[in-house]
Structures are given as C-alpha cells and as structure tokens.
Amino acid sequence: MQTGTVRIGTRGSALALAQAHETRARLMAAHGLPEDAFEIVVISTSGDRIQDRPLSEAGGKGLFTKEIEEALLGGRIDLAVHSSKDMPTALPEGLELSAFLEREDVRDAFIGRVAARLLDLPERAVVGSSSLRRQALIRRARPDIDVVTFRGNVQTRLRKLEEGQVAGTLLAHAGLRRLGLTDIITELLPVERFPPAPGQGAICIETRIGDTATRKLVAAIGHAPTAAALACERAFLAALDGSCRTPIAGLATIDGDRLSFSGTIITPDGREAHDIAAEGRTADAAALGGKAGADIRARAGTRFFDGWA
C-alpha cells in the first residue's frame, strides 16, 4: 500500500477538478482511505494559458498535458488525471496510462441559444467550437451556417454563448454531467451523425513506469472494458497520426469478449468523409484499431490528407 500523501496532478478548470475529485473519491472508497490521504495539485498548462489561437496552431493536444507530465516525471506528483481525448498517442518516456475509469456517455451535446436543435438554426447562424472534429461535423450537417473557433473552458464558452457571440455550441455530454450542467443541453446528438472523438467520456490516470505502489493503488479503480475500448481507439488514432489538426472520430464498444469499432475521418470543410467498421476479440483491441486506421488511410489515399493532416 502507498505510504504518505498521494499527490494527484490536474489542470485547474472546473471540469478537470471534478475529474480529479471523482478519482480521489473512488480511490478513497476502494482502499478505505480518508480524504487527507490525498492532495490535489493544480498545474497550469500551456493549453489553458493559450487562448488567442486554435490549438492546432499552437502545438496540439500535448499542450494540455506537458506541464503535468513534467511534474509527474520530476516526482512532484504521484499520478495525473486527464481527459482521455486530450492525451497524445505517444507518451513521454517513463510514463504510462495505468488505469481508465468507467466511461461516461460519449455523445456530443448541443446548447442552442436561438434554436434547440442544430438542424433548426437559421441560415448563416454562427456556431462555436474549438474541436476540428466538431467543426467538420457541423459543416457536414449544416453547410449553410458559419463555424468559428471557440476557445476556453466550459464556463467560458457558456458565458460567450450567453453574451450572444454565437447561436450555439457543442460540448461533451460527459463533461456536462460531471459538472451537473445537463439542464442547459438542448439536444443530444446521436453518434451515428456525430461520432465522438477517440477517448471521449473517459478519465485516464497516468503514472510513472516502475512506480508499482501507485500503479497498484489505481488498478483498483480501473475499468477493464473501458481500457480495452480506449486501446482500440488510441491505436486507430496513432495509425492516422491523429492530432488537433485532424478531424478524426472513433468509438469502440465492448460486449464481453467481443469488440465493435467504428471510425470516421473527415475533411475540415465537412465535404468528404470515410468510414470504417471492425469487429473482433476484445483481447485484440489495439490490433483491431491499428488495422482499421491503416485500412482507412489506404482507402482515403494521400490526397485526402494533403494540406491538413
């Protein structure tokens, strides 16, 4: 058993803190430990500080994890709690994803100010999103409306929406559930039309390789089906060199020892997309995702990725 205070590293947004608190609560329950056995350490990341341009121009997904991972490698924290969809597919040497909490709802939620449903927005309405995947899917569904980059944490985006800067925005249903904000949702978008980002809805825990005490501590709250699904989705993403510059969706579902996967790649303008599906054994999750990524890349051809991948 871990001795001393367990230091949990996290970003400082309300959602990140909610996820860190959930992780702490699960660890307390699993091991019968008091709250003061844990310390939540808030770490400012580049992704939080850069608000004047899209992440794709500033360095991509790693901007939300870099400083936290440096603290983990430097021994200033014992484990890090992340949103899985923010995690690059390649981790720094010496670190590993050692547990995934049971996944929440993977759907995107639309919060409309002038219409409850995305399809009911008036022509030339403005919708804001910081996600290239969501931007591309919005453009595919409604090529007549304007899509703008919409940075900031959940509360910042909701304030901008209330101020009338946009007619609507999309956020992860899972995050809104964790924040107790489901009452603001005006439409839940079906995964058939709005497939989620790989990892969406899942909290992951990162630890140092070789830190067996911490790994054993967090293993007690890991959810094996979620871990298998994420292994598939992250392998799909890795095969496509996924980053904040690439609109990619992927979702694996687990039913006992069987896994079903569906993936989509789409151009930023929403005009061209390729879909792929795969099924197989849960034990082969990573291999299934990697093959699906390689197959869809070959099917789309290099021209599909020119200029944006």
Q: What is the pLDDT of residues 42-96, one digit of tens each?
A: 998 766 655 555 555 544 556 779 899 999 999 999 999 999 998 999 999 999 9
Helix, coil or strand: residue 82? strand
Architecture of domain 108-188: 3-Layer(aba) Sandwich (3.40)
| pTM for this predicted structure | 0.91
DSSP letter (8 states) at residue 197:
P
Is it true that domain 1-101+202-222 has CATH number 3.40.190.10? yes
pLDDT at 309: 45
Give the chain's length: 309
pLDDT at 175: 96
pLDDT at 93: 97
Domain layout of the chain by residue ranges: 1-101+202-222, 108-188, 223-309
pLDDT in tens, 282-298: 999 999 999 999 999 99
* 162 Cβ neighbours under 8 A, 6+ residues apart: 113
Q: Which fold has domain 223-309?
A: Double Stranded RNA Binding Domain (3.30.160)
pLDDT at 153: 84
From 2, 214, 254, 220, select the one nearest 96 (Cα to Cα). Answer: 214
pLDDT in tens, 3-27: 689 999 999 999 999 999 999 999 9
pLDDT at 173: 98
Of the listed ranges 49-58, 202-211, 272-281, the one predicted with least confidence? 49-58
Average pLDDT score over residue span 174-181: 96
Please tell me which residue in 78, 86, 108, 211 is annotated as part of the active site: 86
Residues forming beta bridges with residue 188, ordered by sequence position = 109
pLDDT at 241: 73
CB contact at 8 A, 251 and 261: yes
pLDDT at 45: 79
Asked whether this chain's domains 1-101+202-222 and 108-188 adopt the same fold, the reply is yes
State the DSSP H helix or E strand holding residue 275, giving kind and residue range, or none if neither. Answer: strand 273-281
* 12 Cβ neighbours under 8 A, 6+ residues apart: 42, 43, 44, 48
Contacts of range 297-300, beta carbons closer than 8 Å, 24 or more positions apart: 297/239, 297/240, 299/274, 300/265, 300/274
Tell me which residue has tokens 């409306």: 145
Q: How confident is the model at residue 307 (pLDDT cuts 50, 70, 90)?
A: low
86 tagged catalytic: yes
pLDDT in tens, 89-117: 999 999 999 999 999 999 999 999 999 99
